[in-house]
Chains A and B, each alone.
Chain A
Amino acid sequence: MFLKTWQPTINSLQGDKYINGALLGCTAGLRNLGSFRLKNVVLDQKEQLMLRYNARLNAGNVYIYLDSLKGKLIKTVPLKSNQTPFWKLQTINLPAISGTHNLFFKFHNPAIPALDETTGVRFDWFAFGTKFPGKGKPGYDDAMKSFAELMEAPVETIPVMVENNKDQFRTSHVFERGNRLVEGAVVTPDVPHILNPMASDAPKNRLGMAMWLTDEKNPLVARTMVNRLWEQLFGYGIAETLEDLGSQGIPPTHRALLDHLSWKFMHDYQWSLKKVLKEIVLSATYRQESKVTDGLLKKDPMNKFFARGPRVRLSAEQIRDQSLAVSNVLSSKMYGKSVMPYQPEGIWRSPYSGDVWKKSQGEDQFRRAVYTYWKRTAPYPSMITFDGGAREVCITRRIRTDTPLQALTTLNDSTYLVMARYFASRINEIGGAEVNQQIAKGYELMMYKSISKARLNALMELYNTSYTKFRNDPKASELMAGQLEKPDKPKAASLVMVASAMLNLDEWLNKN
């Protein structure tokens, strides 16, 4: 555990009382004859100290004093200078001391002048612990060696929250009238008393909190979750304000339904998302038609009361993903690094960093939208156009808008053109010989129902108009058809036109 997390350690951020030294960023830096203090270090049963440091020059020593700079010198640590790796680890044995003490660390390097301004040493963290186990047993040396190597290996670090040791807990006080200098009563972690209490055997930490959240007596988590699932399926939650089920939010339209589903979610389905989703999508409510009659329009324009099936515009990610899917190019690759689908030149700018938007190759450019590389101050344009979250602040609910820029995106974004080509190629292959059959097949693939006559006519008209144009313009055909060739370039180009138009249909962009 220590190897993986480098915890529990005392970080140099906790040092104070700097003399001739300062906190440099996140490390404690000391000049020659500088010192600082680590407060309240528990030394009981701590046999060794592992230091992570960087020293500029050789011949420096760190002196560790107990309780004060004039206190007992418990250890002298000679430092080795190093450039690579930048951080060096040194393990020293500690004499047995009991109790909690302040430790003073002083640096002195006789080789550099006393008033030198360079930072002689930097400390990252201090790990007080027990010795590496198993001394004397066979394999100890090897194990010790690999442990040391791994500890010093230059790895990419990701900050992860890990709970401190009990002896590293700080005492929390109530601040009188909010003044952090006036400490009131000591308090311990707990949940608000007006809500259901924590279980008596729940530890007062995050695990205990998780247990409390999912406690039978706490209806909130289940209701929130069900409400959000409902919103994903229907476009609006039972309580519209997903982010606020409290008294200032909008009350649920179907209170009993929410309670019922939450209850089942918690008890019958044992928190299984799949099961509750199954219940909802198999319900009569979900399976209603989404046709809007005049009466419904008057009484419930936004379908808040779910008197008809949901009909809402799909989210930004869904629009991209489904067009990829129907074109048969959606990559099923999961996990891993983010990818960079096509973005026109000069859009993505990152001042001060050398980052460049490099289009991913092969199937990576067709991965699901969630894998798109995201930079908050230079977001992927078509996601934002379709109301994707900018991720500047946490949003629970997205607002759906309808703008001409969205139209321009699905019409002209070359990603969609590429998708249209693949789609055209697909329907050309499996749709049959005639164009109208192919279009019908395409529609069927998209909408899971057969195409109506009027629709087919409109799309055929487009095909014919396009063909008239492309037949006489080989260059344009070439540009439009791209890599497609069957049955010939102009025909392929015309089919691409139709495919692109189909990927723009209202019923395609909406859930209905």
Chain B
Amino acid sequence: MRDDNQTRRLIKEAEQARLQQYTRRHFLKDGAMGFGALALGSLLGNCWGNSGSKKLFDAANPLAARPPMFPGKAKSVIYLHMAGAPSQLELFSYKPELAKLDGLDCPPSLLEGKKFAFIRGVPKMLGPQAVFKQRGESGLWLSDNLPHLATVADDIAMLNAVTTEQFNHAPAQLLMHTGSARLGRPSIGSWVTYGMGTENNNLPGFVVLTSGGNNPDAGKSVWGSGFLPSVYQGVQCRSEGDPVLFIKDPKGMDRDLRKASIDAINKVNQEQYSEYNDPETLSRIAQYEMAYKMQISVPDVMNINDEPQYIHEMYGTQPGKTSFANNVLLARKLVEKGVRFVQLFDWGWDTHGDSAGNAVDIGLINKCRKVDRPITALLLDLKQRGLLDETLVIWGTEFGRTPMQENREGKKMPFKGRDHHAAAFNMWMAGGGIKGGTSYGVTDEIGYNIVSGKTEAYDIQATILNQLGFDHEKLTYESQGRNFRLTDLSGKVIKDIIA
């Protein structure tokens, strides 16, 4: 027995729904095109909704290569992220004025109203603990802690005035890589592979390599796919053990047996297809064949042992162990084979000064020794193989370090170190259409605040997308009722460093 009220209510609701079909958001969107288009829009309104969100990709082959919005110089990206925040004052940011203030109390104007991760009370200023010189024809200031990088200074575009609002590792890493300090958003690599797939379907499109002993603080979320389909998440490849999880057959099975078993599976699936006629079955057959191919191609590309000795010397690799140098060499090999986005994370740069390993004049230099040679080798190696112009290399981190010596809980630290500093730090880019020998942004004489050329994570993300051939405002995905994009609500391409 149907309640009349209920029926009336349902009818009313249906009418309201019809009327409310045009919500303000839709109205504004269509209204911009004129009222003629409004009618058209209502006809198409449901069409768009038919397959869920407005998807760019083919669900059967989500990683197939797709064209960018306009021809981009870069075809691949190698992102080198130093997790923990290396001290820019000992690497890239030359501040002679700071040397004059070494040992003095920090002026209150720098402390008022600011929150610090560990500094309490009044810390002392810490002058630069490295010697700086100008390098190359461009005159880039680089410290002696990166002697090899100094030789390729003219290939680098230095960003002097990068800033963030997060002063803790995990949220800052998330912001830098996903555009939000909160979990749940896709990383840059996911957006890139979502936008343009990859040129070699036998390998993952977005590969992640970690070194330094630990994952970055924000964990796998910094290479996660967020609300994008999980096929776009970063695939962590390891340089020791199984290169990709589950790539190796179980013990006791050889390649022929594996092929036989996949053949058997696909035969049965084929039979099933003839019964059910579901195209998804065909897709699954393809995926299994792809898996088989990947079992060959991935270990093949991940094996650095077949590189000649002089390459190993150039990069400073340590075959058999996990090291940043190994990962960098792998990155070059992956990019050579058409992988779209390679993300490297190196842990251990958090030089607070609480131990010798974390001191800016001891531990930091040892860390530099581990990365300086491979990064330089990477740039030179890409260049000689004709790949530097189409590979965008980014060296980045999540924030910088304070010009003050850290004093945890107000006490003196055993070693020289700096606390987290969000307001101003350095990153650099090379290759992929970036103009080498340039720099953008200026900070004040002690490296505390930005004077001009403020660069945020969104700007860097916008620039990456731009070099690949995407307008960062137009690469979107609908989720939770609105269109999301990597740069979310801001971001400008840094035109000054683009050739």
Instruction: Give me the interface of A with B, judged by CB distance under 8 Å.
Output: 216-217, 219, 240-241, 243-244, 246-248, 250-251, 255, 259, 263, 290-294, 297, 301-302, 311, 313, 344-347, 349, 351-352, 375-379, 381, 384-385, 387, 390, 392-393, 395, 399, 401-409, 411-414, 417, 452, 454-455, 458-459, 461-462, 465-466, 469, 475-481, 493, 497-498, 500-501, 504-507, 509-510, 512
Contact A501-B265, Cβ < 8 Å, known A247-B20, A347-B245: yes
Chain B residues with Cβ below 8 Å from A414 are 250
Chain A residues with Cβ below 8 Å from B183 are 376-377, 392-393
User: How many residues of chain B get a CB closer than 8 Å to chain A's CBs?
Assistant: 91
Residue of A nearest to B201 (CB): A404
Contact A313 B229 (CB under 8 A): no
B296 to chain A, nearest CB (A): 12
Chain A residues with Cβ below 8 Å from B184 are 392-393
The docked-state distance in angstroms from the alpha carbon of A302 to that of B50 is 10
Residue of A nearest to B224 (CB): A390
Choose from B23, B220, B275, B288 the contact partner of A378 (Cβ within 8 Å).
Answer: B220
Contact A401-B59, Cβ < 8 Å, known A376-B183, A390-B224, A506-B281: yes
The docked-state distance in angstroms from the alpha carbon of A217 to that of B285 is 50
Contact B287 A351 (CB under 8 A): no
Residue of A nearest to B84 (CB): A351
Contact A255-B14, Cβ < 8 Å, known A247-B23, A352-B217, A493-B252: yes
Chain B residues with Cβ below 8 Å from A251 are 17, 46
Q: Is B60 an interface residue (CB 8 A)?
A: yes
Q: Is B474 an interface residue (CB 8 A)?
A: no
Chain B residues with Cβ below 8 Å from A405 are 204, 235, 244-246, 291
The docked-state distance in angstroms from the alpha carbon of A476 to that of B251 is 7
Residue of B nearest to A443 (CB): B268
Contact A510 B287 (CB under 8 A): no
Chain B residues with Cβ below 8 Å from A381 are 245
Residue of A nearest to B247 (CB): A408
- CB-based closest 10 A-B pairs: A377-B219, A479-B252, A480-B252, A393-B184, A392-B183, A407-B291, A462-B264, A247-B20, A458-B267, A404-B291
Contact sample, A vs B, 16 pairs, CB 8 Å cutoff: A248-B25, A250-B49, A292-B278, A313-B280, A347-B245, A351-B216, A378-B219, A387-B229, A407-B288, A408-B245, A417-B250, A459-B264, A500-B261, A505-B265, A507-B268, A507-B272
Contact A376-B221, Cβ < 8 Å, known A291-B275, A292-B277, A497-B257: yes
Choose from A311, A384, A393 the contact partner of B280 (Cβ within 8 Å).
Answer: A311
Residue of A nearest to B256 (CB): A469
Residue of B nearest to A250 (CB): B49
Q: Is B62 an interface residue (CB 8 A)?
A: yes
Choose from B26, B241, B250, B256 the contact partner of A480 (Cβ within 8 Å).
Answer: B250
Q: Mark B248-279, 1 if CB is under 8 A from A, else 0.
A: 11111110111011111101110110011111
B313 to chain A, nearest CB (A): 28
Contact A247 B257 (CB under 8 A): no
Contact B277 A297 (CB under 8 A): yes
Residue of B nearest to A507 (CB): B272
A170 to chain B, nearest CB (A): 27
Contact A412-B249, Cβ < 8 Å, known A401-B229, A459-B264: yes
Q: A405-B291, A406-B287 are in contact. List 11 more A-B contacts (CB 8 A).
A: A311-B280, A376-B219, A393-B183, A393-B226, A402-B287, A408-B295, A411-B291, A417-B250, A462-B260, A465-B257, A501-B261
Residue of A nearest to B410 (CB): A117
Q: Mark B1-45, 1 if CB is under 8 A from A, else 0.
A: 011011001100110110011010110000000000000000000
The docked-state distance in angstroms from the alpha carbon of A504 to that of B262 is 9
The docked-state distance in angstroms from the alpha carbon of A256 to that of B87 is 64
Contact A392-B246, Cβ < 8 Å, known A346-B241, A497-B253: no
Contact A302 B291 (CB under 8 A): no
Contact A219 B10 (CB under 8 A): yes
Choose from A399, A417, A469 the contact partner of B229 (Cβ within 8 Å).
Answer: A399
Our count of residue pairs bridging A and B at CB distance below 8 angstroms stands at 235
Q: Is B108 an interface residue (CB 8 A)?
A: no
Contact B268 A459 (CB under 8 A): yes
B209-246 with Cβ < 8 A to chain A: 214-221, 224, 226-227, 229-231, 233, 235-236, 238, 241-242, 244-246
Contact A404 B288 (CB under 8 A): yes
Kindly name the residue among A376, A378, A507 whose own CB sees the greatest number of chain B CB atoms within 10 A.
Answer: A507
Contact A291 B277 (CB under 8 A): yes
Chain A residues with Cβ below 8 Å from B167 are none
B54 to chain A, nearest CB (A): 12
Contact B246 A219 (CB under 8 A): no
Q: Is B481 an interface residue (CB 8 A)?
A: yes
Residue of A nearest to B216 (CB): A351
Choose from B227, B250, B268, B278 the contact partner of A505 (Cβ within 8 Å).
Answer: B268
Kindly name the residue among A412, A509, A510 whose own CB sees the greatest number of chain B CB atoms within 10 A.
Answer: A412
Q: Is B294 an interface residue (CB 8 A)?
A: yes
Chain A residues with Cβ below 8 Å from B247 are 408, 412
Contact B215 A349 (CB under 8 A): yes
Chain B residues with Cβ below 8 Å from A263 are 2, 6
Contact B9 A248 (CB under 8 A): no
Contact A392-B277, Cβ < 8 Å, known A302-B51, A377-B218, A404-B291: no
Q: Is B347 an interface residue (CB 8 A)?
A: yes
Choose from B217, B258, B275 the contact partner of A351 (Cβ within 8 Å).
Answer: B217
Chain B residues with Cβ below 8 Å from A377 are 170, 183, 215, 218-221
Contact B214 A349 (CB under 8 A): yes
Contact B264 A501 (CB under 8 A): yes
Q: Is B283 an interface residue (CB 8 A)?
A: yes
Choose from B261, B288, B347 the contact partner of A497 (Cβ within 8 Å).
Answer: B261
Q: Is B52 an interface residue (CB 8 A)?
A: yes
Chain B residues with Cβ below 8 Å from A500 are 261
The docked-state distance in angstroms from the alpha carbon of A313 to that of B329 is 38
Contact B214 A311 (CB under 8 A): no
The docked-state distance in angstroms from the alpha carbon of A403 to that of B245 is 14
Choose from B60, B204, B256, B276 the contact partner of A292 (Cβ within 8 Å).
Answer: B276
Contact B272 A506 (CB under 8 A): yes
Contact A458 B230 (CB under 8 A): no
The docked-state distance in angstroms from the alpha carbon of A61 to that of B265 is 78
Chain A residues with Cβ below 8 Å from B287 are 402-404, 406-407
Chain B residues with Cβ below 8 Å from A455 are 268, 271-272
Contact B9 A465 (CB under 8 A): no
The docked-state distance in angstroms from the alpha carbon of A500 to that of B219 is 32
The docked-state distance in angstroms from the alpha carbon of A297 to that of B280 is 11
Contact A408-B291, Cβ < 8 Å, known A379-B220, A454-B271: yes
The docked-state distance in angstroms from the alpha carbon of A376 to that of B253 is 34
A422 to chain B, nearest CB (A): 15
Chain A residues with Cβ below 8 Å from B495 are none
Chain B residues with Cβ below 8 Å from A404 are 287-288, 290-291, 294
Choose from B9, B230, B276 the contact partner of A217 (Cβ within 8 Å).
Answer: B9
Contact A385 B230 (CB under 8 A): yes
Contact A311 B59 (CB under 8 A): no
Choose from A293, A402, A466 the contact partner of B257 (Cβ within 8 Å).
Answer: A466
Choose from A248, A395, A403, A481 the contact partner of B23 (Cβ within 8 Å).
Answer: A248
Residue of B nearest to A296 (CB): B277
Contact A248 B481 (CB under 8 A): yes
Q: Is B337 an interface residue (CB 8 A)?
A: no
Q: Is B284 an interface residue (CB 8 A)?
A: yes
Kindly name the residue among B2, B14, B23, B219 whose own CB sees the greatest number of chain A CB atoms within 10 A.
Answer: B219
Kindly name the residue among B16, B25, B278 whose own CB sees the greatest number of chain A CB atoms within 10 A.
Answer: B278
Kindly name the residue among B5, B46, B276 whose own CB sees the greatest number of chain A CB atoms within 10 A.
Answer: B276
The docked-state distance in angstroms from the alpha carbon of A425 to that of B291 is 27
The docked-state distance in angstroms from the alpha carbon of A313 to that of B283 is 12
